[in-house]
Structures are given as C-alpha cells and as structure tokens.
Chains A and B, each alone.
Chain A
C-alpha cells in the first residue's frame, strides 16, 4: 500500500473515537507495526492520531484537511519513537481552534527535509516555514481575510435564499 486516504462522508469534523472500533483497531495495528511501502497519507475531516504514523518511515507526503488535536495517544503508546518520518510534502488546509501551536511543535520534528508546503493558516504557516527555510522549493499559500470569511457566511445565507 502506497497511499492511505482517510475521510468520512460527514460534513463536520469527526473524532477518531467516533469511527467503528473494529476499523480503528485494524488501522492502528497496521500503522503501529509500520508499512514500509506507505508513502502518502491524506486525512480528511478527522481527528486522526498522528503519532500512529511515526513507525512508517517512508511517508513522504502528508495532507491534512484540519489540524488534529495533539498530543494524542501519548499515554496509551508512550514514546517509543525517537526518529520520526521526514516529510517531503506537507499540506495543512484548515486550522482547528486551539490546535495550531501543538501541531506546529509536532510538525517541527518532521519537516527538516520539506520541499513542498501548503497552508492557509497564517499562524501555522509561519511556524512551519521556520523549520524548512533551507529545503523548501514549492510553496502554496491561501490568503483569506477575517472580513472575507465573514462575507462567506453572508454569501451562503444569500445562496440559501436563492
């Protein structure tokens, strides 16, 4: 398996614990052992425990719809990993409230060789950029303003009326 795509049909953010137990167990067992062929991971609107990826040394690309809560699972699986997968590509599309600083800390140990980065959260992006100034070759930034995002809400209400 080269690519793992985890997403749900739900429009709203889901926690890992909300997924069926049997699925979670199977996924955790696989990832905790490590999949040597796994290169790409895409996580949808899901609070995925990122520490499960740490045994998968060949992951190059990580794409997150939303930053998950971190730390996670540290008590359950206490730190057995000291070397982490080094990502070449990282995409962070949304910032979950209160999670950007822990996520930046988590990512800082894994982006020493980062070549491609995407973000639309300025705060998270600035933190991530600090860790890859010597290696970054491709950068995607989404600029949104606070005003504009408010306007998105009004646009949506207009669409409903139409």
Chain B
C-alpha cells in the first residue's frame, strides 16, 4: 500500500494544479488555487461527473498549520458542466488531525447550481496521523449553517458518504454496459 503511493508520487510530478491554501491559525485563505482548471461547458451530453480531490494538512516553512485543498478547483470545474445529472465528489483528506478543520465551504456553491439532479459527496481520510475517522455527524455540523446544502440533504438530492470511496471508473463503465465485470489489476 505504501509503496504504491510512492509510485503515484513520481508520476504525479507532471501535474500543475495549484491547491487553495488556508492558514488554519487565522482561518483565512493564504493563497488561492487554480481557477476553473477544466471547462466542461461544451460537453452537452455529459451526464455523470466524478472528481477526486485531495485536502492535505501540513506545516509551512514558518511552522504554521496549513490546509491545502483542491476542493475549490473541483467545484469550479463541476459548475461548468451544464448538462450534468449526477455529480460525485470524493474528498481525500490526508494527514488530518481534526475532522472539524476540513473546510467544506466550497460545497456551498453546489446549492446554488440547480442543474445537478443528484450529488454524492464521499469524504475519506488517508494516511491518518491519528486513529480518527470522519463521522457523518461531524460533516453535517460543518455544513449545518448552509440552508441550501441542508435543504438538498433533506430532499435526498445530496448524500454524504463518510469514509467511503466514490465508485471507480471501471465500476461505472461495467454497471452501464453489458460487459461482464472482470477483475482488475491491483
């Protein structure tokens, strides 16, 4: 498992997305990330979009607690997809110590977008520094102040899945085709 992650690291070095960085000490954005990295507005038949985005806790060179997240970039990208019926957002929280520090405020933009018929939010912790799991109650407390999001949850249009992964690409393809489900390589 660990070795696999190192392998990903080398090949990830070609990527160029900038994360939005929050200073957790003062609760403000330290640096804005990539703005709408992918424009999906011309994909008129796009029905289902799945975006996996990382949120990472770290200390900067001044030993300040920082949260670097690509969730804003993911939401901005999703908002450009006008034909979308189903949106999956998977948030992988790396090295977190307190679930209450996970900033879900970018999700509020989803409430304003009426084009999505259904939204699934998957939040899972990876490479945990402590034995902490993300609980549904914690996530709900983070979005409780947002009437739009809470309304979507009450209506069943937005479902939160703590400590679950979004469906894989092959799962999605196989579920929508007559192909027999084959095992995949590790």
| Interface, chain A (partner B; CB < 8 A) | 2-3, 5, 7, 11-12, 39-40, 42, 44-45, 60-61, 63, 65-66, 88-89, 91, 94-97, 100, 116, 118, 120-123, 125-126, 129, 133-153, 155-156, 158-160
14 of the cross-chain contacts (CB-CB < 8 Å) are A3-B180, A12-B7, A97-B13, A123-B16, A134-B44, A136-B43, A138-B48, A140-B169, A142-B51, A145-B17, A148-B12, A148-B19, A150-B9, A155-B95
Contact of B179 among A12, A39, A156 (CB under 8 A): A39
Q: Does B2 contact A (CB under 8 A)?
A: yes
Which one, A91, A96, A145, A151, contacts B15 given CB within 8 A? A145
- Cβ of B36 within 8 Å of any chain A Cβ, yes or no, is no
Give Cα A5 to B182, complex, Å. 9
Chain B residue nearest in CB terms to A150: B9
Tell me whether B131 is interfacial, beta carbon within 8 Å: no
CB pair B186 A152 closer than 8 Å: no
Contact assessment for B45 and A136 in the assembled complex, using a CB-CB cutoff below 8 Å: yes
CB-CB under 8 A for A143 and B184, given A94-B8, A116-B169, A152-B12: no
Q: Is the CB of B14 within 8 A of A139?
A: no
Cα separation A37 to B47 with both chains bound (whole Å): 29
The answer, yes or no, to whether B98 is at the interface (CB within 8 Å) is: no
A147 to B34, CA, bound (A): 13
Q: Which residues of A lie under 8 Å from residue B185 when comparing CB positions?
A: 5, 7, 42, 44, 65
Give the CA-CA distance A11 to B5 in the complex, in Å: 10
Q: Which of A63, A89, A138, A148 contacts B94 (CB 8 A)?
A: A148
Residue-wise, chain B 26-39 has the 8 Å CB interface mask toward A (1 for contact) of: 00000001000110
- State how many angstroms separate the Cβ of A95 from the closest Cβ of chain B: 5
Q: A91-B169, A122-B16 are in contact. Are A136 and B95 (CB under 8 A)?
A: no
